[in-house]
Amino acid sequence: MKAMLLAAWRYRFFILSSIKTELYSKFVRSRLGGLWLILNPLAQVVIFAFVLSSVLSARLPGINNHYAYAIYLMSGTLGWSLFSEIVNRCLTLFIDNGNILKKLVFPKIALPLIVTGSALVNNLLLFAAILAIFGLLGHVPGSALIFLPLLTVLTIGLALGLGLVLGVLNVFMRDIGQVVPVVMQFLFWLTPIVYTADIIPGEYRDLLKLNPLVPIIAGYQNTLLYDRAPDWVALGWIALLSLLLLVFSLLLLRKAAPDMVDQL
Amino acid sequence: MSGHLRVHNLGKAYRDWGSEWRRMVSWLFPGIAPRKAHWVLQEVSFTVRPGEAVGIVGQNGAGKSTLLKLITGTTHASQGKIESAGQVAAILELGMGFNPDLTGRQNVRHAAGLMGHSPQEIEQAMPGIEAFAEIGEYFDQPVRTYSSGMQMRVTFSVATAFYPDLLIVDEALSVGDTYFQHKSFERIREFQQRGCSLLIVSHDRAAVQALCDRVILLDQGRVLKDGNPEEVMDFYNALIAEKENQKRVVLQHSSGKLQTVSGSGEAILKRVELLNIAGQPLEFAGVGQAVQLLIEAEINRDIPQLVMGYMIKDRLGQTVFGTNTWFTGQVVSDIKAASRIEYRVAFPMNLGPGSYSIAVALHAHATHITENYEWRDLACVFQVTNHDQNDFVGSTWMTPVIEISEINQSVGQAQTKPALRAG
């Protein structure tokens, strides 16, 4: 484990420059360039805001803002987009990079770090855009904003741990690559992002506790919308889970690495 | 620190686990055996000493590329171990996973970063890489606009931009145009002179013999031969000839080298001799002397046609000249068993001083690859000495006629007057 981290440190320049080129190459041939980084999640917010707020005429209790629902939606989306980007990218990480894995020797740990870095940059840009829109809508987040970095770290930890396990297994069982996007769809709708937790009938509400994303997304909503500290107890469990997943994924990566290149 | 490599009892198997679950359980419990193991490399042991250049040859599927990948470290051995010291650089197959949308320069930065170099080192090496690739302004164009040759140029330039202790090259030399081939060849030679060890896979006999101190012949995943380039290449040459109905003998030649004789035996060589014009055997021939090569073939079974070919090779085993009676349009047809055919090949010995050998072959078509009756390396060994020509260097005697004249520039028209003439 220590050797892995040391290797990652030796490759720090490479990781940084790869994040840069990755962001650059994604948009080098598009007119709007980097704008797409934030346009995509924002378009999603607009769709849900239009459809759901008019259809359901949702109003959030305790918030005195006409656009409360849109703000709620954007808060959840900020967390979800970071989580889903890392999971989805890690899922095909080794398959996508098969070409260089087969030809060059470098620490494999560099790959998920590059993904994390570029997802983080995307997320920061999205956050900036969301803040700007909040301003337009007349909502100014309060001091609870200081908890956001912690939430971001937790989201990355959970996403990376889960994504790496899936990514390694996907090399051997390509079905995983097909199943996960479907599961992610379910997860999105099973997490209160476009709806609030209290519209779920009481008898099912306990089931939400099985979803590790719920406390994280609730944390985003708490800090950005309600100006409240997140639920530390629930997040503590998530932190433990993320840590276990991360350790497991790194062990798995080490065990599977010799077999992996032959399967690419 | 210089490149040193020791490969001990190396093996690589592609394993069939039956189910992926079984494979995953095997990560936890190494004792679990796979359903089937397909060994592509087995019991390979050899050493590359610092500064040594070793070639690896073998037919497709012999395990050459797998071996290089194992040594590079991109794949892991199933058995045995590899010890290496120093910086290893590898050029495996074509390309280095270049991103088509990035420019050559950006890709170089990326690839060099993957090789573990720091930004300073990379920027320092960049002008050299750009100059060596010689692709002009394309260097700052997206790689998708490159031809495959240009990609190869950039790949080679990056891979060799940083002096390694051990350079591994897989068939990369045969790509690219002749100009770049020469250039990359030069660079490899330069590395070699600086003490870099080399490990080269190539099907190009000339390249292997020119670069390597030793050649390893792989066949079906095992080391079949390991030794002097000429001997191993001769043996390999016999190996790639039609496999069935062939016997192959390796003899100790009187010169101390190992001689390979192979063939199906329908026709055999009875006599191969180099004679002077009067018909007396020669061991030393003068530069430019008229000589004749006498070859006598004995036919053991009825054969539809017979082609005789010969090849003159220099001390290093490089072919200096070779042809056969297929190319000269002198194929002999419908030969009955027990007959004898005599060939007399007359030619002037226009070779530079040195030691040469002649390989002779009897076969049915344009090459010995199909229906090889007999192939005999080192069928005849002779020396060329220079006693009546002017001194010269090189392996060929190309009778020069040199005219030297002085050009008088003060006069409007260039006037030439012969000053010296020699020939």
pLDDT value, residue B1: 45
B225 and B307 together in one domain: no
Question: Is A13 in CB contact (< 8 Å) with chain B?
Answer: yes
Residue B343 lies in a domain: yes
Residue B181 lies in a domain: yes
B214 and B262 together in one domain: no
pLDDT in tens, B45-68: 888 888 888 988 888 878 888 888
Which residue of A12, A13, A16, A109 is the best one to mutate when testing the B interface, meaning the one whose CB has the most B CBs within 10 A? Answer: A13
Residue B202 lies in a domain: yes
Residue B403 lies in a domain: no
Question: Is A3 in CB contact (< 8 Å) with chain B?
Answer: no
Residue B238 lies in a domain: no
Contact B116 A18 (CB under 8 A): no
Residue B159 lies in a domain: yes
Neighbour tally for B161: CB within 10 Å: 25
Contact B106 A21 (CB under 8 A): yes
Cβ(B398)–Cβ(B292) below 8 Å: no
Contact A97 B97 (CB under 8 A): yes
Domain extent for B85:
4-230
B226 and B248 together in one domain: no
B195 and B150 together in one domain: yes
B204 and B250 together in one domain: no
Task: Tell me the pLDDT band of B172, cut-offs 50, 70 and 90.
Answer: low
Neighbour tally for A219: CB within 10 Å: 27
B120 and B16 together in one domain: yes
| Rounded-to-integer distance, Cα A176 and Cα A166, Å | 7
Residue B325 lies in a domain: yes
B300 and B335 together in one domain: yes
Contact A100 B96 (CB under 8 A): yes
Closest CA of chain B from A91, distance in Å? 17
Q: Which of A254-263, B1-10, B107-116, B142-151 has the lowest mean pLDDT?
A: B1-10
Closest CA of chain A from B110, distance in Å? 7
Which amino acid is located at B2 in the chain? S
Residue A77 to residues A38, A45, A137, A182: CA-CA distances in angstroms?
A: 11, 7, 17, 18
B64 and B157 together in one domain: yes
B197 and B254 together in one domain: no
Q: Which CATH number does the domain housing residue B55 bear?
A: 3.40.50.300
pLDDT in tens, B354-372: 888 899 999 988 888 778 8
Contact B113 A101 (CB under 8 A): no
B56 and B130 together in one domain: yes
* Residue spans per domain, chain A: 2-263
Q: Which CATH number does the domain housing residue B255 bear?
A: 2.70.50.60
The CA-based dihedral angle spanning residues B125, B126, B132, B138, taken in that order and rounded to the nearest 10 degrees: 170
B69 and B148 together in one domain: yes
Size of interface A-B (CB pairs under 8 A): 79
Per-residue pLDDT of chain A (264 residues; tens, 9 = 90+): 777 778 888 888 888 888 888 887 777 677 777 777 778 777 877 777 777 666 555 566 666 666 788 888 889 989 999 999 999 999 999 998 888 888 778 888 889 999 999 999 889 988 988 888 888 888 888 888 889 999 999 999 999 999 999 999 999 888 899 999 999 999 999 898 888 887 788 788 788 888 899 999 999 999 998 888 888 888 999 999 999 999 999 988 888 888 888 887
ipTM of the complex: 0.72
Which amino acid is located at A123 in the chain? N
Residue B261 lies in a domain: yes
B179 and B278 together in one domain: no
Average pLDDT over residues B170-196: 77
| Rounded-to-integer distance, Cα B180 and Cα B182, Å | 5
Number of domains composing chain B: 2
Q: Which of B203, B230, B257 is the last residue of a domain?
A: B230
pTM: 0.71
